[in-house]
A and B are shown apart, each in its own frame.
Chain A
Amino acid sequence: MCLAIPGKIKSIEMQYDGRVRMAKVLFGGITKEASLEMLPDADIDDYVLVHVGVAISKVDEEEAQKTFKYLEEIGELGDLTDVDEYLPKSN
């Protein structure tokens, strides 16, 4: 549960009466929502490390891809996929 997974910001919307910046982040083929409140300067197409639904650090693209590939190779992306079985599908 302690892993932070790198993904790419696809879109950003303001939620909670315009006070919270939420992003749709693409992890490989899976899209998840992540709060950008800890990274006020993160923007669309940026790569970010996401930990339990919160983006905690920006990363460069190369680093993001290497890390994602490593996590995929060692089968450590369960945090993303397993949970989908329990949740309503988001678009």
Chain B
Amino acid sequence: MSEYRDPRMAKKYLEEIKNTVSRPWSIMEVCGGQTHSLVKNGIIEMLPDTVTMIHGPGCPVCVTPLNLIDKAVYLASEKGVILCSFGDMLRVPGSQKSLLEAKAEGADVRILYSPLEAVKIAEDNPDKEVVFFAVGFETTAPANALSVVHAHRRNVKNYSILASHVLVPPAIKAVIDDEESKIDGFLAAGHVCTIMGNTEYHPISAEYKVPIVVTGFEPLDVLQGILMVIRQLEQSKSEVENQYARIVREEGNPDAQKVIDEVFKVRNQMWRGIGEIPESGYAVREKYADFDATKKYNVTIEEAPENPDCISGQIMKGIKKPFECSQFGKKCKPTNPLGAPMVSSEGACAAYYHFSGMVEA
């Protein structure tokens, strides 16, 4: 058994949390991988009642706008198009159908491990148009940007990306600004900070007076992150701390930031279930407009309404828990998701579903 799952260490952290906490605190973990870890390892039940974990919007699959999924489905169904995507996106419901349903109807939809493979597919299929559905947080942005740089260098004309990038710091601000949510401290996402570093978080913790602890995703990481947040809260501190220092450097990865900046510029971004958040996404820069699927194809698809039975927005803002949804485990299951958080293993609803005794083989 690995050190990060060592139950004795977990117990020590839990005891320390219990000894430290003197009043109720709500802590949001931003990263879906942390949500998964909290739920899967039963950490939520082991924490004292005074510590409430709120699950944040940290699943890129879950927050990709419905309209963009409809666009991806539309493009996939066009003749001569190979639509490439990370596997998690395939089952996300669009307003008419998912990419998986489009694939079943004959569309050439391919699941890839890396966007760099999509460039190779484009080179191997010069008579086809290859579109990569480039979703992700900052962690994934360098790979998606790199695919554009590779295609540009190789003069690959038949490659483009349908970009839907979301950024963590503006989302944290939006969550704090939301009147309905009351969050005392944050666990920031370790792998996001591996790329971007921690500097963006200092102004947020100073302005909003919230502790932010950059945290890994393994159970002991998450427990340690929670303890660090609680210690700050109990001492009325609001600082940025780095629990995941074995991986995350203060400055992040400058080479990765360079390639992001080469290809993308910051723009306002729609988050599914939440709405538009200022300066919270990436658009492809004009220099690389030929590789921007939204410009290359000029697809206009009418905004469709969300499924009225789905409360994913309230779930991702931490206002409601998955089991407070009347459709949870009934109409909405991983095999038949009404909304995106039930699709991805990092989505809060799917995590609760899988690990709450409602297990589906």
List A contacts of B259 (CB < 8 A).
Answer: 37-38
Inter-chain residue pair count (beta carbon < 8 A)? 122
A52 at the interface (CB under 8 A from B): yes
Q: Are B346's CB and A59's CB within 8 A?
A: no
Q: Are B86's CB and A49's CB within 8 A?
A: no
> Which of A2, A39, A80 is close to B33, meaning CB atoms less than 8 Å apart?
A2
Q: Which of A34-53 contact B (CB under 8 A)?
A: 34-35, 37-40, 49, 51-53
Most chain A CB within 10 A, of B1, B110, B136, B217, is at: B217
Residue tally, chain A, CB below 8 Å to B: 38
B153 at the interface (CB under 8 A from A): yes
> Which of B112, B189, B247 is close to A57, meaning CB atoms less than 8 Å apart?
B247
List B contacts of A63 (CB < 8 A).
Answer: 246-247
List B contacts of A82 (CB < 8 A).
Answer: 87, 111
CB within 8 Å for A3 and B117 given contacts A40-B255, A51-B191, A70-B4: no
Residue tally, chain B, CB below 8 Å to A: 49
Q: Are A66's CB and B255's CB within 8 A?
A: no
CB within 8 Å for A49 and B247 given contacts A1-B140, A56-B195: yes
List B contacts of A83 (CB < 8 A).
Answer: 87, 111-113
Cβ proximity bits B330-361 to A, threshold 8 Å, 1 near / 0 not:
00000000000000111000000000000000
CB A2 to nearest CB in B, in angstroms, measures 6
CB A85 to nearest CB in B, in angstroms, measures 9
Most chain A CB within 10 A, of B59, B116, B150, is at: B116
> Which positions in B face A, CB cutoff 8 Å?
1-5, 31-33, 40, 58-61, 86-88, 110-117, 136-137, 139-140, 142-143, 146, 150, 153-154, 189, 191, 194-195, 217-218, 246-247, 253, 255-256, 259, 344-346
